[in-house]
Amino acid sequence: MSARVSFVIVSHSASLAVGVCELAAQMAPDVRFEAAGGTDDGRIGTSYDRVEAALEAALAAVAGEGSGVIVLTDLGSATMTVESVIEMSDDPERVRFVDTALVEGAVASSVRAQVGDDLDQVAEAAAALAPRLNDAPAQEAPSPANPPVSGGAGEATASSERCVPHAEGDAVVADPVGLHARPAAAFTRLAETFDAEITVNGVDATSMLLLMTLGVGQGSTVHIEANGADATAAVQALTDMLERTN
């Protein structure tokens, strides 16, 4: 499925806008990003004309039901410029300005765009980022008093409380960069394909940013749990991905 959502990154710095686009594009190679940074004469600031041109290009790059553009900014005056451009746009209903952390919001929501989510879903992912990171559960190291739940990859049991299929298992991360950046993005995209709620060391497996906060490096062991119709297949596939050197 091709991406239905593109992005405009608005910053007071041209270099910063381009850099955020480059970073997010590493996680979402099929998504269109437009940078609108700096003034027309190369100074620090924002330009109505640059934002307008970027928005028009981003809108032209996507089409169909649920398509549109996410606009992210760095500082207040950039937001005012964006609001003016959207107000004058011919397609304001296909544009969502999301007031969230610029870099983290771009990376997290672009992964959602990569898997084919619609405009409202991608906007929701960007907007929900800050509270989700703040609410991330603290990771407690296994200890004799608090041992990890045992079980091989794909071992399935019946969840008596939820009455849904359950599976869990451990995986040793093989990728040299661990569970960061592109490996984390690929992991979340795969997790999204299963009909199951999946966690890795207790955090949502479909949130790339939360996975990256775990600080998992090469050789680390992670615990995967899944609840849902595809629980066993999900744990097995995700374990295989982590234990395979890319």
Q: Buried b vs exposed e over 103-137: b needs ≥16 C-beta within 10 Å? A: ebbbbbbbbbbbbbbbbebbbbbbbbbeeeeeebe
Burial class (CB in 10 A: 0-12, 13-18, 19+), 32: buried
What is the predicted pLDDT for the residue at 49? 95
Residue spans per domain, the chain = 5-134, 155-242
Going 27 to 28 to 29 to 35, the CA torsion angle's sign is: negative
Interior angle at CA 69, CA 191 and CA 9, nearest 5: 90
Annotated catalytic residue 223: no
Both tokens of 185, joined, read 């993005």
Domain at 155-242, CATH class: alpha beta
Nearest to 31 by CA among 69, 66, 65: 69
The arithmetic mean of pLDDT across residues 18-28, rounded, is 92
Task: Considering only CA atoms, give the Rg of the chain.
Answer: 20
Q: What is the DSSP letter of 146?
A: B
What is the predicted pLDDT for the residue at 75? 82
Question: Measured between alpha carbons, how far is 126 from 172 in angstroms, rounded to an integer?
Answer: 30
pLDDT at 129 over 80: no
CB atoms within 10 A of CB 40: 10
Both tokens of 75, joined, read 């500082």
Q: What is the DSSP letter of 186?
A: H
Residue 130: pLDDT band by 50, 70, 90 thresholds? low
Residue 46: pLDDT band by 50, 70, 90 thresholds? very high
Phi, psi (degrees; rounded to nearest 5) at 95: -125, 135
Instruction: Out of 29-38, 76-85, 162-171, pick the least confident.
Output: 162-171
Residue 207's SS3 state is: coil
Residue 36's SS3 state is: strand
What is the predicted pLDDT for the residue at 245? 64
Question: Measured between alpha carbons, how far is 25 from 100 in angstroms, rounded to an integer?
Answer: 18
| Catalytic-role residue among 12, 166, 180, 223 | 12
Both tokens of 31, joined, read 């998504």
Query: What does the chain come to in residues?
Result: 246
Q: Which helix (H) or strand (E) holds 189?
A: helix 181-191
Q: Taking the model in full, what pTM does it have?
A: 0.63
- The CATH superfamily of 5-134 is Phosphotransferase system, mannose-type IIA component (3.40.50.510)
The arithmetic mean of pLDDT across residues 205-232, rounded, is 87
List, for residues 78-125, the tens digit of each pLDDT value.
889 999 999 999 999 999 999 998 988 898 899 889 888 999 999 998
